């Protein structure tokens, strides 16, 4: 069956059979090699991973948990030597710490965590910068590199742009409102045209607990964005994560953070001009006039699609001239009209409804309360906007909308009520100009199982039973202008399948044809798909393998996969399951997915 050739497809590989087991699987003729795992040393003074004696200090120098975004900055233009940029979105305590889960009468209970465990979690967040090189066709980490760096939930960062220094960003630890400790829940991300690393802060509210009085200035703000979630136990040991003790700390998260990977001592900067919401990704492209356009989804049911256009223009000859481009520009939110047209609405203080009458006293207020400002402008509520990828090859933009089972009323851009499987919207910017403020849009794909009519999936008839997917989350456009989509939660759409990476045709007769290229081990989500510029390597991030399976002492967890588990990638009794970044190469060294 693998010989099935999809008519007109620009992808050439024998597709992987959909399924689920303890291991990962890549298309025949390709190698999938683990490059770095949770706990591997990143900084040059970090110790080897010792899971039974883990400490916050060790974790602060080792590869963090739940790798998500993967970026690559070539050194001297090379696709075989560069800096790997990796986000560490969140932690799964039940998979990290032995003995944390107890089971009584079949009921699993977790915790409480010690302060050391909490501090290990904080250090396992953030990101990693790792120098890597390809030697004899295989990637390896460069030990002792001056670029190797960990960024954690404690790394000191600067707040810059229009909201920097605002009273609403001041705390008892920082009377200036310009210095914050750490970045959290970095989901997708981006790499700028000038080679800096963007970390997008997504579900930051989960780390906070406590309540504010009903009449407090931030109560309504936090309710619209996300009330403190209490998903973690950090507030038990650190007052800044309790909003009743430190009411403004939560306003200091939800931004896009820029890191210069070329200087391991550079202070990361939270760029407030890009707005504050549950940022999923920040991929960019240079517009014809030289301004730079950044796309960002706000991953929440009924939230919005944004883009930021810099005021200044990209200078390809002088890297330093670009280093503060992200502090000055205009943030826009998308309105998708029923007739297939669209408009990008600017979020500018004093314009339209964004005035003192509506509680905005400055651009800082508009940015701190981006969602409320976008509500007032009449943006289109979407089905959970995740990663957004511009495509230089065709002037279009691909928006992953992962699902929205709470939708009771459809609109043209979100056409399915109870949208369990998500869809992909394709934006055609006016004249192919990414800086345009109008355009058209159409739906590239409605996801889900095409063999079930009620699902309403629109994959091409060339798509096999392995090729369809649900819950698009991350995406990549390769140097040939081809689209690749990875999923989060596809496993839940039908037992017997996992998340993975699919190649999706977007042009010609094959448009809507999808093929499975790689799939993850049981319980995992597929993140960070990133091809190198020369297309001979595809980096992928395997996130939370075994989650929803069993913890590493074999205690059952409620799950779809109670009878399955994995110790991927080591398969050793003395090692826990470990989120890892994988480098995929073609056995003959050729280009990925090309004949």
Q: How far is the CB of 142 from Ca ion (least distance, A)?
A: 25
State the SS3 of 430-459. HHHCCCCCEEEEEEEEECCCCCCHHHCCCC
Pick the closer one to ligand FEO by CB: 233 or 386.
386
**Number of neighbours of residue 257 by Cβ within 10 angstroms:** 31
Pick the closer one to Ca ion by CB: 260 or 387.
387
Choice from 36, 180, 187, 483 touching ligand FEO (CB under 6 A): 187
Pick the closer one to ligand FEO by CB: 188 or 377.
188
Name, in order, each residue with C-beta under 8 angstroms of 397's C-beta and a sequence gap of 6 or more.
Answer: 295, 388, 389, 390, 391, 426, 427, 429, 434
Site mask for Ca ion (CB under 5 A), range 169-208, x = bound: ------------------x---------------------
Q: How far is the CB of 200 from ligand FEO (least distance, A)?
A: 9
Q: Does residue 202 interact with ligand FEO by CB under 6 A?
A: yes
Site mask for ligand FEO (CB under 6 A), range 224-263, x = bound: ----------------------------------------
**Number of neighbours of residue 114 by Cβ within 10 angstroms:** 14
Q: Does residue 343 interact with ligand FEO by CB under 6 A?
A: no
Listed residue (189, 69, 83) closest to 528, CA to CA: 69
Site mask for ligand FEO (CB under 6 A), range 54-93, x = bound: -----------------------------------x----
Q: Interface residues for ligand FEO in 424-463 (CB under 6 A)? A: none
- Is there a contact between 542 and 487 (Cβ–Cβ < 8 Å)? no
Q: How far is the CB of 528 from ligand FEO (least distance, A)?
A: 11
Pick the closer one to ligand FEO by CB: 9 or 128.
128
Return the structure tokens found at 316. 């390809």
- Is there a contact between 351 and 330 (Cβ–Cβ < 8 Å)? no
Pick the closer one to ligand FEO by CB: 237 or 302.
302
Q: Interface residues for ligand FEO in 272-301 (CB under 6 A)? A: 280, 299
Name, in order, each residue with C-beta under 8 angstroms of 222's C-beta and a sequence gap of 6 or more.
Answer: 205, 212, 228, 243, 250
Listed residue (322, 326, 331) closest to 275, CA to CA: 331
89 binds, among ligand FEO, Ca ion, none (CB under 5 to 8 A by kind): ligand FEO
Rg of the chain over Cα atoms, rounded to whole angstroms, equals: 23
Report the C-alpha gap between 424 and 471 in whole angstroms.
10
387 binds, among Ca ion, ligand FEO, none (CB under 5 to 8 A by kind): Ca ion
Site mask for ligand FEO (CB under 6 A), range 461-480, x = bound: ------------x-------
Report the C-alpha gap between 564 and 546 in whole angstroms.
8
Q: Does residue 209 interact with Ca ion by CB under 5 A?
A: no
DSSP codes of every residue in 573-595: TTS----EEEEEEETTS--TT--
Q: Interface residues for ligand FEO in 374-413 (CB under 6 A)? A: 386
Report the C-alpha gap between 66 and 38 in whole angstroms.
8
Report the C-alpha gap between 109 and 595 in whole angstroms.
51
Q: How far is the CB of 284 from Ca ion (least distance, A)?
A: 11
Q: Does residue 473 interact with Ca ion by CB under 5 A?
A: yes
Give the footprint of Ca ion on this chain (CB under 5 A).
187, 387, 473-474, 488
């Amino acid at each position: 069956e693998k010989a099935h050739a999809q008519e007109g497809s620009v992808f050439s590989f024998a597709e992987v059979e959909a399924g689920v087991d303890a291991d990962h699987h890549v298309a025949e003729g390709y190698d999938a090699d683990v490059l770095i795992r949770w706990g591997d040393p990143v900084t040059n003074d970090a110790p080897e991973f010792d899971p039974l004696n883990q400490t916050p200090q060790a974790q602060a120098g080792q590869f963090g948990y739940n790798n998500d975004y993967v970026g690559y900055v070539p050194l001297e233009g090379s696709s075989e030597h560069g800096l790997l940029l990796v986000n560490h979105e969140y932690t799964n305590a039940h998979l990290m710490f032995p003995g944390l889960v107890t089971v009584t009468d079949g009921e699993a209970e977790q915790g409480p965590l010690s302060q050391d465990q909490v501090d290990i979690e904080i250090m396992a967040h953030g990101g990693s910068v790792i120098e890597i090189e390809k030697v004899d066709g295989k990637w390896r980490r460069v030990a002792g590199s001056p670029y190797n760096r960990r960024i954690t939930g404690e790394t000191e960062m600067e707040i810059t742009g229009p909201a920097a220094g605002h009273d609403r960003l001041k705390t008892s630890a920082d009377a200036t409102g310009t210095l914050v400790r750490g970045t959290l829940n970095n989901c997708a991300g981006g790499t700028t045209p000038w080679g800096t690393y963007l970390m997008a802060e997504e579900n930051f509210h989960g780390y906070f607990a406590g309540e504010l009085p009903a009449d407090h200035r931030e109560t309504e703000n936090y309710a619209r964005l996300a009330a403190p979630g209490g998903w973690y136990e950090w507030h038990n040991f650190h007052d800044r994560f309790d909003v009743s003790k430190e009411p403004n700390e939560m306003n200091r998260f939800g931004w896009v953070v820029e890191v210069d990977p070329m200087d391991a001592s550079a202070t990361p900067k939270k760029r407030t001009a890009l707005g504050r919401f549950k940022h999923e990704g920040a991929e960019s492209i240079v517009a014809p006039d030289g301004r730079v356009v950044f796309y960002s989804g706000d991953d929440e049911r009924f939230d919005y699609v944004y883009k930021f256009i810099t005021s200044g223009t990209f200078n390809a000859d002088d890297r330093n001239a670009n280093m503060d481009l992200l502090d000055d520009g205009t943030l826009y939110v998308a309105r998708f009209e029923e007739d297939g047209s669209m408009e990008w609405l600017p979020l500018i203080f004093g314009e339209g409804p964004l005035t003192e009458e509506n509680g905005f006293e400055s651009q800082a207020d508009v940015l701190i309360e981006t969602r409320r400002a976008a509500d007032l402008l009449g943006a289109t509520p979407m089905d959970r906007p995740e990663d957004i990828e511009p495509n230089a090859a065709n002037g279009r933009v691909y928006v992953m909308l992962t699902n929205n089972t709470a939708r009771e009323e459809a609109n043209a851009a979100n056409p399915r009520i109870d949208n369990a499987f998500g869809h992909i919207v394709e934006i055609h910017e006016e004249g192919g100009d990414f800086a345009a403020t109008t355009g058209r849009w159409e739906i590239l794909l409605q996801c889900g199982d095409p063999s079930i009519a009620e699902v309403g999936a629109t994959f091409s008839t060339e798509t096999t039973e392995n090729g369809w997917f649900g819950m698009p989350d991350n995406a990549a456009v390769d140097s040939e202008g081809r689209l690749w989509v990875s999923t989060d939660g596809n496993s839940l759409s039908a037992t017997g399948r996992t998340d993975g990476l699919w190649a999706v045709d977007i042009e010609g007769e094959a448009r809507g044809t999808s093929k499975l290229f790689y799939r993850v081990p049981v319980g995992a989500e597929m993140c960070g798909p990133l091809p190198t510029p020369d297309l001979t390597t595809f980096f992928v991030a395997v996130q939370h393998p075994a989650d929803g399976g069993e913890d590493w002492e074999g205690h059952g967890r409620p799950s779809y996969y109670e009878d399955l588990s994995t110790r991927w990638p080591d398969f050793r009794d003395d090692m826990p399951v470990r989120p890892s970044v994988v480098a995929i190469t073609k056995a003959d060294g050729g280009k990925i997915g090309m004949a």
